[in-house]
A and B are shown apart, each in its own frame.
Chain A
Amino acid sequence: GAGVSQSPRYKVAKRGQDVALRCDPISGHVSLFWYQQALGQGPEFLTYFQNEAQLDKSGLPSDRFFAERPEGSVSTLKIQRTQQEDSAVYLCASSLATNAFMGEQFFGPGTRLTVL
């Protein structure tokens, strides 16, 4: 079956441009996570959705970062006025459950963002 998909897979932006990264979770998955993975590092939590509700956005690094999931399925991570330090792989993960013990997170392949 289809896994988590993300698009685009690669994005090059000039400093100051706005970008939008898309995540298509596994159908029926309630929980959706965004993580940021800098080169050579482990992923770091950005934000969490349960259906369409954004329950945790504590990991968003600045107010330039905005995420939404308006219909409880597809999610978009938007970064305004991109900076070089935003260069990273952005990973999306989805889970069937809302409880950590009951729901494995399935990760997409990520979007590699390079800000010049």
Chain B
Amino acid sequence: KQEVTQIPAALSVPEGENLVLNCSFTDSAIYNLQWFRQDPGKGLTSLLLIQSSQREQTSGRLNASLDKSSGRSTLYIAASQPGDSATYLCAVSGTGNQFYFGTGTSLTVIP
């Protein structure tokens, strides 16, 4: 069964800093990988989806990369802002119509 790990579990950075969140998965036979943001007590908001044939995706200050062979993805956030404070989750999709989720990284950006 696919296992997804996110390290660190929590991260605190000063405003303006660039940062990297990590996601690793055990089975490299994935179709795609998705990064989500979750605010406290709320649902998940999709940030980026990377197909298995792609190496990266960008949206504004966010850049996600995928190295399928090593089972790793990173989410790069440039020039962090207090509004970026949230929990970030990654999820991978293999055979079948479901995603497997990591437990997330809780990010705090200090003004």
- The answer to whether A and B come from one shared complex is no
